[in-house]
Chains A and B, each alone.
Chain A
Amino acid sequence: MRSWWVRLRRHDPERNAAEYVSGELPRRAIRWFETHLLDCEDCWREVLLGRLGRAAAEDAREPVPRGLRDRVRASVQMTGGAGGEER
């Protein structure tokens, strides 16, 4: 039996929701889980909260500050090549 099938059948709403929201369930497992969601209040709630939290996390992304790329480039150029010794 596939490991994902064993995990889903154990009914661990937190873990199942985490894998589902992360997009890490195989296609067949997704079909099974989405059918299960219609009847399972616990899993439905965890998936809803997981999606909301993921959306918030994605929205917290910050742009790289202007100048940081140049600063990093310059610092790498100041560092020695092969052998990695800082000059």
Chain B
Amino acid sequence: MTNDQDSFLRATMGAMDLVYNLSRRLVRSREEAEDLAQDTYLAAFRARTERRRPQRVEPWLATICLNLARSRYRSRSRRPREVALEEGAAVVGEEDPEGAALASLDRDALHLAMWSLPEEQRVAITLVDLAGLSTAEAARVMGTPRGTVLSRLHRGRRALAGLLGSAVQEVGR
């Protein structure tokens, strides 16, 4: 391995969780997500060796991943089946409604719920709530004003809360 390859991998492998989880929300299958994550790293390595190096790798890799998905994977991805979400469902009468509801939802159900959101909301939530980017960083990655990201973020969270509220009601029955 060359020094260049080694230093690149040292600097970026910590962001694999971000890149994979973002990929999972940009393409439908796990296999495609793994391919997208790998392609993101290859594109980043080429860009890094050719141009200047980024200060923070997470937003940089997220931008590359998003652009790759848009340019190469979008046509392959089909719009998923819509899942009805009860927006703003009331959550009352539980000591730990979040815990109870989350325990009742497996990861696949949450994944499906994420895919029921419009792409821009899904990406905003993934960048901020899953990847830990600030809303300003997410705005740069998505190429939109910060206020737009805040709006997408909140609407996406509210839609997911609707699903969670439904689950809490199911648990309470």
Contacts and interface: CB of A to CB of B under 8 A. Distances in A.
B26 interface: no
B50 A62 contact: no
A39 B68 CA distance: 46
Question: Which size class do B's interface residues fall under?
Answer: 35 or more
Interface of A: 14-15, 17-19, 21-22, 24, 45-46, 48-65, 68-69, 71-73, 75-77, 79, 81-84, 86
B24 A62 contact: yes
Interface in B125-143: 125-126, 128-130, 134-135
Given A18-B151, A59-B107, A72 B129 contact: no
B8 A76 contact: yes
B42 to A, nearest CB: 6
B20 A64 contact: yes
Nearest to B152: A18
B5 A52 contact: no
Given A18-B153, A64-B16, A57 B164 contact: no
B64 interface: no
Interface string B138-173: 000000000100110111111111111100000000
Contact of B156 (A53, A75, A77, A81): A53
Most buried by B among A15, A54, A76, A81: A76
